[in-house]
Structure 1
Amino acid sequence: MSLKGRVFYVCFPLILVVLTQMIHNIFMIFLGIYFCFLFKRFSKGFGLSVILITIIAFLCLLLPQPLNKTEIKGKIVGLDEKSIVVKMGYHKVKVYGEFKEIKMYDEITLIGKPYVINETGNDYAFNYQNYLYSLNIFDILKLEQVTSLKHVTHPYHYLEKKVKTKTKVSSLLSLFILGAKDEQMKNYYEKLTKLSLVHLFALSGMHLMILQKWLNHLTKFFFSKRMQNIVSLVVIGFYLSIIPYNISFLRAYLMMLLVQLFKRIFNPLDLFSLLTVGMLFYNPYLIYNLSFIFSYTIYFFILLLQKKDRGKYYLFLGSVPIIISIQHALPVFSFLTAPLLMPMVEVIYQTMLYYLILGKPILYILSFEYEILLKMIDFLTDFSFSLHFSQPTFFFIGVYYYLYLKGIYKINMQRKIHQELSLLFAVLLAFYFYPFYNMKGQVVMIDVGQGDCFFIQQPFHKGNILIDTGGLKNTDVATKRIIPYLESQGVFSLDAVFISHQDFDHCGALESLKTHFKVKEVIESFKEKRIGNLHFKNLALDKRYVSENDRSSIIYVTINHLNYLFTGDISQEVEKDLYQTYQKLEVDVLKVAHHGSKSSSSDDLFKMMNPKIALISVGKNNLYRHPSYTTLKKLKSYGIKIYRSDEMGMVKIVYYGNKNYIFIHNNP
């Protein structure tokens, strides 16, 4: 029995195996549904064979593990101002430190100590560790000593020398030829990201096709058509081997090579399925790499569309859920601007290729083209606008791609797709308005390290409030931790930001937050404030305190039948005064003062309240050793359930109707 046209049906469940292992067991359900389809579509023998292969795949799929070595020896395959990446066979090691007179592909032996990067414990945050794992970087070290260094002459250095001109185009040359982004391109790269046009400027299958056509054009006077393809494959393979690792470019080249070698045995979809499974089993963490997801998903749709002209613009719709997942926004004109910029990018890329051969005279042409390109990007940025979305749900993604694939089927059958297009836009529109009819509300302790930051989201978009912003000296908490979570929840403006007091760990991120996010009002002093359905009271006393901590606002608010008390950094002195003033206060959820310091949480506080839950916002392994053993012991003695961000990450109290539920980011 010929496997041509059937390999995809064998490979698809293997991809589900990886998704089950790496993301969620829910994909087991899809496996079961798929096997039912398989027995209905094919013979029992074929179906049983696929099940057997899937079981073997489950048993054979192994996750790569760190080397856990402090002395490493290998080749430098990555280099920036703060670190290098050393390749040791399959594994790569990232080493932070100061390196002098080091070049790419030098051979190095060094000694380092394990370096731990504290990952944020917030939902939908960028997971740097998984990203490094997707690049085969499984160890991170801090440099202690370079024991040996051998400079190696490598073809890469020739390309590097060619692209490092003293002109403006140096950055663009580096981006297109080496696949490396420098600081000079950072501003324009951010604009391209907002326009969802980064894929045009990062080395990809499009550039490889241009390169192949260019090479075929140069060699057509010397070789036959078949030999042109062979020569171009050899040259591109050599080029790919000397530049830094690029997932999209590698996928395009391997597909080109496999089609050339096995086109009589397998069809392109078969080969692409084998390539995808091979890459995922080589490194399952690729599933977390956005370049991999974008490149492989879009190329899959290209294959399904079977080069139909009608599907050329329909293809762009296939990237919508991916773009929303990355940016939580959809540039409205991105589908129009991409076709507009594509010819310009193709011309510039070919000009760069001629520059590599002809040298300096071509720079004048390239500089002219570069100026036009920058003006086009600025123009598109000025006139573009985006629709904001919350983090796509599995349900939305599933419905969207079901309709999208149904549209592809109709295109291939030469049928109209008006109904599918209408439904796609209807689903997109419904999801756009989702935050406005979302019945869920939540009170969230955002993990900002050593500091306080609490987010309150009311149902039906009636009010979004932040109490304190946190603040870290070496990290922009606003852009790295707070804003990504707010956007994932469909929140793109804050009705109010309460600042309890002026300590940096409570308000240090405020300026950055106001710069990068819409904040309607900052409240530093108040008595009472109503926002949406919530009534906030400041219980701070009229008594003047010497300490800035003791002047903290003490915010009391009732949210869905639970009484919350946010105590800032008040000390036992203030707690005693509170007791004498109020005697009795109904509190269900207590934000423990001063991150659990022993200078707070006195018996006076608990004489006037009997909280069920204690929230402690504190940094992992902090210098102050917060929370103190004394405070924790006291909270436990009163039978209070403790939730702390250093151990559990983000803590959410979510409410629907009259019910409240607690979710934590990490299981303790």
Structure 2
Amino acid sequence: MPLHSSLKVLIKPLSIRPLVCCTCLVLLAQFSSLSLPSFLPFFPFFIFLLFLLFSLSFFLRRHRRRFTLSLFVFSLVSLGFFSTQQRYVQIHHLEDVFAGKDSVKSVCTFSVMEAARKREKGDSYIAEVLACAEFEQTFKTQLFIFAEAGKYEPGDVLQGEASFKKPNAFQNPASFNYPLYLSTKDIGTLAFSKNETLKKIEVSEKSIFQKTYLALQKRIEKTASAQSAPIMKALLLGEKNDLQDDTKQIFSELGIAHVLAISGLHIGFIFLLLALLISLLLFPFRDFFLHIPRWKLVSPLALLCVWVFIVFVGMPISSVRAGIMLSCFVLGKFLLRKQDLLTTLSCSALIIVFIWPLSVFDLSFQLSFLSVGGIILFMPRALLLISSLFPDVQKKYYTWKLVQFIVLTCVASLVSLPLVAYAFHFVSILGIVSNLFVVPFFAFFLLPLLMAAFIFFPFARLSVFFLKFASFSLERVLHGASSFYEHTKSLVFHCAPSALSVVALYFVLLLFFFPVWKRKKNHFLFFTFLFCFIFYAPFFFHSFQRTLKVSVIDVGQGDSMLIELPGGKSVLIDAGGLTGSSFEIGQKVIAPLLWRKGISSLDLALLTHADYDHAFGFHSLLPLFSIKTFWWNGFEPNPQSEQWKRLKAELQLHHVPMLAVNENSACYEEKKISLCPLAPSDEHRFSTQNNASVVTELRYKDVAMLFTGDIEKRTEKKLIPKLEGKTFDVFKVAHHGSKTSSSQNFLDAFKGKIALLSVGKGNRYHLPNPLVMQRLQRKFSTVFGTDKDGLIELETDGRKIEVTTSRIKHGLRAVY
């Protein structure tokens, strides 16, 4: 079958489903809306133009229907585009207040909307700002309070001083987009407050739903074990704040994280359980409803109970989305229309994106609709293939049902694979196996037990019995899942495909299920190889690199630099870390960038000194990358922090040799490249960790670079004799541009062309210092900073240097 015939087979089902095509166009417009300039000022003109065009359609004699339909589709697509831009502007309407300011302090009144989430220092809440001196409108915010866990509950009204900031994104490829994530939750600002500045001024009267919710939550905590209670609360109440990071990682890499959210799987099974229960309750009264089909009574009642349950758990977006999909399906049955699952799915998607325009950027929205759409499109093709290969399998009823369940699991895992790899940076085949056992357990055993505990909540002993039985069973399954994960986690492949690669993967997936040629064996082998190769391509081509690349990674207020050597070897200098935060900067920011570049191991890791903003990221990098050698300055922090002890333990666990280096240590050499330590000196009398930083000189042919860590004036003075008369094409500014470093005498000692500055945007230290910036701008032809330029990448063949940033591109040629 030629390619155009294959595409015709694919497009034919869509051509008879205009709503499906319309939905795809609306989603595409919404995806592109935030990447394009704002067209909101032209919205009135656009409405006027539509009015004229619709008026014109009444005067057409020919093709009136086609013209009107095309105009209607265009209107929906345009409204989707404008609504997304409008909603984003509404969420971030405080831009004018923040103009020229890093933060704004104000006395405000907050209403707590969700339960506390535990942080390393205090808690965070989703809260609504009711009144504020600096802001006129009410809005939602992420409120961080330095207080004990669980002190405030939903409904509490607080008053006190808070500091408001705009959320910043790490401007690196494959990094987590925190501002966009908050926007999907209607949050555009962050608020920080200390416990002593806040006071509770009102405790709102809780509804019967809230009282039952809190009582059921406390009953689960008292009845279930510490291991199973957080999962049971997530399944029954949608409360995921208490889930441990280790549990989330195991469930995620096993491909069963979807069972922890109240989404389509849960809502569907809850609907079936309630329908069965209502049907049993109505059975004694069957004689009264002889003229009415039973499903017409059962379906609306079960659907109503489902929506009551959704309201009870706080209406999380995933459950509301599933409820809308279920409602569309039930409504279609009542209208006596022939059920078309793709059209029903498209209808529910349109409803959701017009009510919550930014939900199109929500990962759970994308995964749920992709999985369901993939099952609808690809599962019949897969079953047809199996039945053609094994004709007798359909004759065995239970065997065929088992085959259908396995195929459904495989198709859902395969369809979600590219998006999971893009968002979570791993590919796991474990999901196919684990879903075969875990999903039936959760759906047919654990969920009915929890629903029974919920239904019989007024009967305490009966409810507790169901909870204890559920907890006991869940502990055994968790133990088995943990053992399975420990023995198979080596099968998890880490990668970070680009958006273009994800599009290519889905195109290959379409061609896989819709054959291009008649020889199906060759067809499946070719596209299976192509699908796998797209994931592996960055790692394959990285070994053929012929130039030296240096990247200053945007890690916020911290330091991290990656050096990619010709031939594929890599060196990482520092790994960042956000002071006072448990955010894993190594796993969430640095590792995705390395995977995107095709790096799976580090030949050398260099820690300039043991400060938190340079060292903490290594904790989460060590389990993910093979590190051959670890350089450090040899000076342990005093007193030793828990983070430093943890880093040493991780290095020992992964058998990474620690080598303390100083000015007399041997250079790291690879072909025509040398990385030589210039400091610290072998004297053991340093007042601070900053002055003990490892300073290195990198040379590749005619290009020289100087990396200075966080050295201050004392160490700079000792380095001046070593640097006098030298020329450095690239100079990494010390200590994030602080006034304690980059003294004029030090800068005068050598010649330089490009200065690189690693500093967090809007940091609390107000770095870089203005005086230091003036010195740097006088000294160097160009100064780049991660606060304004994001990721800074330099590529050199040993003669010329090209600098690329997240925002602009420069071509610089050094003359020697």
Query: Residues 458, 7 of structure 1: CA spacing in aligned structure 2 closer, same or farther, 3 A cutoff?
Result: same
Which residue of the partner structure matches residue 325 of structure 2? 255
Q: Is the 8 A contact 2:608 2:695 kept in 1?
A: yes
Query: Residues 283, 609 of structure 1: CA spacing in aligned structure 2 closer, same or farther, 3 A cutoff?
Result: farther
Whole-angstrom CA distance in 1 between matches of 2:711 and 2:35: 42
Which residue of the partner structure matches residue 237 of structure 2? 178
Whole-angstrom CA distance in 2 between matches of 1:130 and 1:529: 41
- Computing the radius of gyration from Cα coordinates, the structure with the larger value is 2
Whole-angstrom CA distance in 2 between matches of 1:433 and 1:56: 39
Deviation at 1:96, TM superposition (A): 3.0
Which residue of the partner structure matches residue 180 of structure 2? 130
Deviation at 1:155, TM superposition (A): 1.8
Query: Residues 234, 506 of structure 1: CA spacing in aligned structure 2 closer, same or farther, 3 A cutoff?
Result: closer
Whole-angstrom CA distance in 1 between matches of 2:680 and 2:433: 59
Which residue of the partner structure matches residue 30 of structure 1? none
Check if 1:359 corresponds to 2:466: no
Deviation at 1:590, TM superposition (A): 0.5
Specify which of 478, 494, 497 is matched with residue 605 of structure 2.
Answer: 497
Specify which of 278, 282, 285 is matched with residue 358 of structure 2.
Answer: 285
Which residue of the partner structure matches residue 149 of structure 1? 203
Q: Is the 8 A contact 1:553 1:567 kept in 2?
A: yes
Deviation at 1:535, TM superposition (A): 1.6
Whole-angstrom CA distance in 1 between matches of 2:450 and 2:628: 48
Which residue of the partner structure matches residue 28 of structure 1? none
Which residue of the partner structure matches residue 19 of structure 2? 7
Check if 1:275 corresponds to 2:348: yes
Q: What amino acid does structure 2 have at the position aligned with 1:475?
A: S
Q: Is the 8 A contact 1:545 1:551 kept in 2?
A: no
Whole-angstrom CA distance in 2 between matches of 1:415 and 1:308: 16
- How many residue pairs get aligned? The number is 647
Q: What amino acid does structure 2 have at the position aligned with 1:419?
A: H
Whole-angstrom CA distance in 1 between matches of 2:262 and 2:376: 20
Whole-angstrom CA distance in 1 between matches of 2:591 and 2:199: 39
SS in 1 for 2:728: coil
Query: Residues 184, 328 of structure 1: CA spacing in aligned structure 2 closer, same or farther, 3 A cutoff?
Result: closer
Matches within 5 A, 1:603-622: 603-622=744-763
Q: Is the 8 A contact 2:761 2:787 kept in 1?
A: yes
Matches within 5 A, 1:471-482: 471-476=577-582, 477-482=585-590
Q: What amino acid does structure 1 have at the position aligned with 2:164?
A: Y
Query: Residues 226, 125 of structure 1: CA spacing in aligned structure 2 closer, same or farther, 3 A cutoff?
Result: same
Matches within 5 A, 1:194-593: 194-221=253-280, 222=282, 224-263=294-333, 264=335, 267-305=340-378, 310=383, 312=408, 313-346=410-443, 347-356=445-454, 357=456, 358-384=462-488, 385-409=490-514, 419-420=523-524, 422-438=526-542, 442-460=549-567, 462-476=568-582, 477-511=585-619, 513-514=621-622, 517-524=625-632, 525=661, 526-531=665-670, 534-540=673-679, 544=683, 546-547=685-686, 548=688, 549-559=690-700, 562-572=703-713, 574-575=715-716, 578-581=719-722, 583-593=724-734
Query: Residues 237, 414 of structure 1: CA spacing in aligned structure 2 closer, same or farther, 3 A cutoff?
Result: farther
Instruction: Please list every run of 5 or more consecutive structure 1 residues that lacks an aligned counterpart in the other structure.
Output: 26-41
Which residue of the partner structure matches residue 43 of structure 2? none
Query: Residues 419, 115 of structure 1: CA spacing in aligned structure 2 closer, same or farther, 3 A cutoff?
Result: same
Which residue of the partner structure matches residue 54 of structure 1? 77
Matches within 5 A, 1:619-630: 619-622=760-763, 625-630=766-771
Whole-angstrom CA distance in 1 between matches of 2:758 and 2:414: 42
Whole-angstrom CA distance in 2 between matches of 1:348 and 1:16: 38
CA RMSD of aligned residues (A): 3.6
Whole-angstrom CA distance in 2 between matches of 1:363 and 1:321: 37
Whole-angstrom CA distance in 2 between matches of 1:600 and 1:6: 64
Q: What amino acid does structure 2 have at the position aligned with 1:230?
A: P
Q: What amino acid does structure 1 have at the position aligned with 2:144?
A: Y
Query: Residues 88, 619 of structure 1: CA spacing in aligned structure 2 closer, same or farther, 3 A cutoff?
Result: closer
Q: Is the 8 A contact 1:407 1:417 kept in 2?
A: no
Specify which of 157, 165, 187 is matched with residue 108 of structure 1.
Answer: 157
Whole-angstrom CA distance in 1 between matches of 2:695 and 2:129: 55
Matches within 5 A, 1:47-86: 47=70, 49-61=72-84, 62-64=86-88, 65-66=90-91, 71=108, 76-81=113-118, 82-86=123-127
SS in 2 for 1:475: coil
Query: Residues 256, 575 of structure 1: CA spacing in aligned structure 2 closer, same or farther, 3 A cutoff?
Result: closer
Which residue of the partner structure matches residue 30 of structure 2? 18
Q: Is the 8 A contact 1:122 1:447 kept in 2?
A: yes
Deviation at 1:70, TM superposition (A): 6.3
Matches within 5 A, 1:586-601: 586-601=727-742
Q: After alignment, is 42-51 or 289-298 more displaced?
A: 42-51
Q: Is the 8 A contact 2:422 2:499 kept in 1?
A: no
Q: What amino acid does structure 2 have at the position aligned with 1:220?
A: S
Q: Is the 8 A contact 1:298 1:315 kept in 2?
A: yes
Whole-angstrom CA distance in 1 between matches of 2:322 and 2:590: 37
Q: Is the 8 A contact 1:452 1:506 kept in 2?
A: yes
Q: Is the 8 A contact 2:693 2:710 kept in 1?
A: yes
Deviation at 1:15, TM superposition (A): 1.2
Query: Residues 579, 290 of structure 1: CA spacing in aligned structure 2 closer, same or farther, 3 A cutoff?
Result: same
Query: Residues 146, 336 of structure 1: CA spacing in aligned structure 2 closer, same or farther, 3 A cutoff?
Result: same
Query: Residues 339, 652 of structure 1: CA spacing in aligned structure 2 closer, same or farther, 3 A cutoff?
Result: same
Which residue of the partner structure matches residue 651 of structure 2? none
Deviation at 1:199, TM superposition (A): 0.9
Instruction: Please list every run of 5 or more consecutive structure 2 residues that lacks an aligned counterpart in the other structure.
Output: 1-14, 38-64, 95-105, 131-137, 284-293, 384-406, 457-461, 633-660, 810-816
Whole-angstrom CA distance in 2 between matches of 1:189 and 1:605: 49
SS in 1 for 2:165: coil
Query: Residues 663, 302 of structure 1: CA spacing in aligned structure 2 closer, same or farther, 3 A cutoff?
Result: same
